[in-house]
Structure formats: structure tokens, C-alpha cells
Amino acid sequence: MIKSPNLPGYLDYRPDGRYLRVWCAWCVEWHCCRAGDLRPAHITHTVGQCYAPDSPYRAGYGITVSLAPFDAVVRSVREATAADRKAIVAGRIDPAIAALRAQRPREELML
Ligand SMILES: [Zn+2]
């Protein structure tokens, strides 16, 4: 049995409710699901929402809710463009896509 990865999730407070955002380094985008009653330090699990055919997260993954809110990390990574997504779906992982995939969210000072 393969142990599923555990990724940090960030609470995103929106007018229509709270969401949990998880950075997927394989799809190079923020996956999103309803946060329900989740609070920082809670651990949850989700099914994969990945479009990247080579993503190991497609089988699902664990999420640990971070103390940092989504607003504090969202600008620390750059999501794939439509063209990048086409390349990822086609399995064309060139150095530019590899660099996007190497990004990891980090907490930034909110000024
Ligand atoms: Zn993904």
C-alpha cells in the first residue's frame, strides 16, 4: 500500500463560505474544496482533482490545515497558464514546466 501524501491546506474566506486551498505541484494550480468545519491543525483527506496525468495525487491525499490563511500564500506561487496546462496534459514537461512544478507555497508578510 502506498502512503498518500499529506499537503498543507490554506483556509480561504469568501463571501459564500470558507474553502480549503491546496497547492498541487503537478497541476501547478490551487485545488479547492469546501472547508466545512475545518480549523487550523485539523487533518482531512480528499480525492484527487488533478488533471495532470502523471500526478500521484490523483489517488487522493491528506491535507493538514495550515495556520496561515490562503491570502498569505496565494501570491508566492504562479499557476499554470492555459498553454502550460495543455503541455502538462500532453506530458510535455519542459524546463519551464519543471520550474513551475518546483514552486512551493510559502507564507508572505501581509503588509
Ligand atoms: Zn493536481
Give the pLDDT confidence of 32-46 residue by residue, as tens digits: 999 999 999 999 999
Environment class of 64 (CB within 10 Å of its CB; exposed 0-12, middle 13-18, buried 19+): middle
In a domain, 108, yes or no: no
Give the CA-trace dihedral at 62, 47, 8, 108, to 10 degrees.
180
User: pTM score > 0.85 for this model?
Assistant: yes
9 close to 20: Cβ distance less than 8 angstroms: yes
Q: Which amino acid is it at 44?
A: T
Q: Give the Å distance between the CA of 105 and the centre of ligand 1.
A: 14
In a domain, 111, yes or no: no
Residues of the domain holding 72: 6-101
pLDDT at 5: 86
In a domain, 109, yes or no: no
Q: Give the Å distance between the CA of 98 and the centre of ligand 1.
A: 14
In a domain, 1, yes or no: no
Q: Give the Å distance between the CA of 39 and the centre of ligand 1.
A: 23
* Beta-carbon count within 10 A of 111 CB: 3
Q: How many domains does the chain have?
A: 1
In a domain, 110, yes or no: no
Q: Give the Å distance between the CA of 48 and the centre of ligand 1.
A: 7
In a domain, 107, yes or no: no
Q: List the Cα angle 13/16/18 in 5-degree steps.
A: 35
